[in-house]
Each structure stands twice: as C-alpha cells, then as structure tokens.
Structure 1
Amino acid sequence: MSNIEVYIVVEGQTEQTFVRDVLAPYMAVQGIYLIAIRIGIAGHKGGNVKFERAHKDIERLIQQRSDTYISTMFDYFRIDSNWPGQELINTKIKAGITLSGIDKAGILEVATLTKMTALLSEDSIAKRFIPYIEMHEFEALLFSDVTVLAEKINVPINQIQSVLANYNSPEEINSDPLKAPSKRLEKLMIGYKKVIMGKVISESIGITRIRQQCLHFDSWLQRLEKLTE
C-alpha cells in the first residue's frame, strides 16, 4: 500500500483543528496523510466561502506537486450563493422537488468538480480533486452520539434527543442557518467554544461512530480510502 497525501482546504479553525487532531490520525493508519489548509488569506476567521477564493487555493495546490490529492471541507451554510450547483438546487426546489442534504451536497460536489476541470488545464484534476461539502455544517457531526454530546456539554440527554427527533441523520440538521447545529449547541451550552469543543466532542465520539451516523461524511472518507487502491 502506497502512502497518499491529501491537502484539505477548510473553512476555518474549527475544521482545521478537527482534521489535524482527530481525522488525520484516523486516516494515517491507512497510509492516508491529511494536511488541512484554511481557505484564502492566512489568519482569516472563516466564513465567506466564495468559489473564487477556493478556486485559487485548489489551483495552487494542484500545481505545486503532481503526486498529491486535494479535497475541501466547507459548510453548506457558508458557501457563496453563486457556487457551482447552487442554481440547479434552487431550480429543483422551486419546481417542488424535495432534496435531502445528501442530494444537495452531491449536486454541489459534482458541479464543483466539473467547474474546476473546466478552469484548469491540469489533465489529472478529475482524479486528484475530491470536493466535499459538509451538510449542513461541521457541528452536525457532533450529534452522532447523543450520550457523549450530552455529557460533554453537560445537559440532559433528552435535550439532544429532541434536536434529532425530526431528522433522519445529524447531517439533516438544519436548512435554516438560525437553527444550525452550532446555533443549537450555543443555546444548549452557555459559553460554547467551537474550536475546543469541536475537538473534544469529536474525539470522544470517534470517527467510526460519526461515519455510522453521517453517511455523506462516510462517503467522503470512502473516496479518500480508495486512493490507496
């Protein structure tokens, strides 16, 4: 099995910390080494994920070396309204078509790859670029284990269960940014710290459990795992 390096362009410090401290050690066992790089200018606080900014980072990483792979880790909530695939999603919704979180993410990821392939002359872009859009944001993954989450933020377990009651998966929380997983956590725990708690909770849950509960996240890791074949 050959070792694989994957650069992941992430939205902010929360995702960067998760990839570096939680996900990377898990994938390294399989010979897949992840390096998280925050989008755009160094030191920015995340958010404002415009395709133009992502395009520049992806192009730079693609052109640096020919033996690495590039992926992304952006929240659906934060990406620009002009992001490739957004128009198609809006058209389908206006036509009365119901789209799950996985449906929306799939449309965006296919459109993103298609757009990058058209923009770059690099022949191997279709093989080396593996876009991933989080549904609906990173904090959804923290709802993968209600017992662990309730313990870590010190609330009764039924409060976590009530959040999940109307959803088939943590990744379906929530199409309304005002009720996003992070907003719910901030409401449940006064002084919730995204970066620190994101690491602590996800480490305690474990990637295996998160994969079981979050199928879109799992499909992303499966794509990365296939790179060693």
Structure 2
Amino acid sequence: MTRLFLYVEGQTEESFVREVLAPHLYYYGYTEVVPRPTGGIRPWPSAKRDIVRFLKQDAGRVVSTMVDFYGLPQSGSGSWPGMKNANTAHYPEKARTVEKELLADVCLDMGENFNPRRFIPYVMMHEFEAMLFSDCAAFSRGIGRPTLANQFQTIRNAFASPEEIDDSPLSAPSKRVEKLVPGYTKPILGTLAAFEVGLEAIRRECPHFGCWLNRLEAVPTASSGQSATDFQ
C-alpha cells in the first residue's frame, strides 16, 4: 500500500489535490492522498522538520511538495536549498535545481538507508493559476465566464508554456485573472477551472508538472511487492 502526503502552500493547492489530483492517483494504486496546507511558505528548517517527521512516522508513506518557486525564501536562515544557484540557472533548470537540493537535504537527515523515491519534491515556477492557462477555453468555462477565452488565450500566447506566466508580483497569473474577473476566489473558482481543464491538458502544456505527475504515477508500481521495511 502506498500513501502520499503532499506539503502544499495554501487552500487552492489543497483543494486541487483533494478534488482533482487524488482521484487520479487512486487509479494508479495509492490508498491515501493527503494534502497538508501550510498557510504560506515557511522557512526551510521548519518545513524540513515536518517533511522528515512525516517520512519517519510511516515507512509506507511517500512525501511530495507543491510550492511556488518565487515565494520561497532566498536568503537568511530560512532560505530553501538551491535558491541561490537557481537564480543564475536557465529558466527550465530553476525549479529542478531547487528540487535536487531539497532531496539531497532530506536524504541527509533521513540517513543512508533512506529510499530517495519516498520524497518527490515539486516546485512550481509560478502560482497555481498558471496551469489553468493550459486550456483557455476550458478555463473560461470552468469559472463561468466563457467570453473570456480569447483574452486568456492572448495571455497564454505570450509565453512558451503556461508554467512561465510569470515572475512579477504585479502580473502574476492570479493578478491577470483578477483583472478580468473581479471577485475571483482562488480556492473555489480555481478548483472548478482545474476540473474543466483536466490533468491531461495540464500535463501536455506544462512539462515540469507533467514530469512530476509521471513520477507520482510510477511510485505504486515501482514499490509493489516490497515490504514497508524495503520501502524505507
């Protein structure tokens, strides 16, 4: 049995995991998918303590993260591993640089017998709303504003991928949506839109998300036949 614990940034990500991601992963063999919202990004030492504790509590548990790259602390005692190097990396490598450092740091705390497949960090480059631009017509239908499809598509067309929308606090994905949809509420409308857009469209248009989803899907199959002790 494989149980997944997701360390997520806020209510929007929590709702997405519960309503959209979890049912999909149950099909692949997970017996439990539980998001833990943190109420915002916490300093890495605090976040790591939780992650390590969750891993040690249950040898059959896999832990992942769903956090926003540009929200991660970059300096001081609370900085997240890899952020300094990521800032000088080419765009496609920024999130992967942080993910590799997070994995290395957790593995160090867990000890040499730890199976690194049990921790699958995922760092989104931007806000959750960026992924909704994977299918702009579906996005607009999901929030009950189908006439906005072309305007959403214009935003999408300015970037190579929805994952690249974008790194300014004033023009972040949710800010762009709020300008077109006054009163936009992230947890409710964001989840409705994600239902309509669908995981396959997000996987197709957002390669970094797609890579993460592929890895999550593969875990139950890879661990089948192993005991809890083997999975440590």
**TM-score, with structure 1 as normaliser:** 0.88
Aligned to 1:15: 13
Give the secondary-structure state (helix, strand or coil) at the position aligned to 1:158. Answer: helix
Residue ranges of structure 2 left out of the alignment (5+ in a row)? 223-232
Give the secondary-structure state (helix, strand or coil) at the position aligned to 1:106. Answer: helix
2:87 equivalent to 1:85: no
Task: Give the Cα–Cα distance (whole angstroms) in 2 for the partners of residues 151 and 67 of structure 1.
Answer: 39
Within-5 A mapping of 1:69-218: 69-81=62-74, 82-90=79-87, 92=88, 99-100=90-91, 102-121=92-111, 123-153=113-143, 154=145, 155-218=147-210
Deviations 1:28-77 (A, max 9, x none): 111124211123xxxxxx22332122102101101111111110111112
Residue ranges of structure 1 left out of the alignment (5+ in a row)? 40-45, 94-98
Runs of 4+ with >3 A deviation: none
Contact (CA 8 Å) 2:86, 2:93: kept in 1 or not? no
Contact (CA 8 Å) 2:142, 2:194: kept in 1 or not? no
Alignment CA distance shift 1:80-1:15 (3 Å)? same
Deviation of the 1:4 alpha carbon: 1.8
Task: Give the Cα–Cα distance (whole angstroms) in 2 for the partners of residues 141 and 34 of structure 1.
Answer: 21
Give the secondary-structure state (helix, strand or coil) at the position aligned to 1:77. Answer: helix
Task: Give the Cα–Cα distance (whole angstroms) in 2 for the partners of residues 190 and 152 of structure 1.
Answer: 15
Task: Give the Cα–Cα distance (whole angstroms) in 1 for the partners of residues 40 and 161 of structure 2.
Answer: 24
Tell me the C-alpha RMSD between the 2 structures. Answer: 1.5
**TM-score, with structure 2 as normaliser:** 0.87
Deviations 1:165-211 (A, max 9, x none): 22111001102122111111111100000000111000111111111
Contact (CA 8 Å) 1:77, 1:177: kept in 2 or not? no
Contact (CA 8 Å) 1:50, 1:80: kept in 2 or not? yes
Give the secondary-structure state (helix, strand or coil) at the position aligned to 2:133. Answer: helix
Task: Give the Cα–Cα distance (whole angstroms) in 2 for the partners of residues 209 and 110 of structure 1.
Answer: 26
Deviation of the 1:114 alpha carbon: 0.9
Contact (CA 8 Å) 1:49, 1:78: kept in 2 or not? no
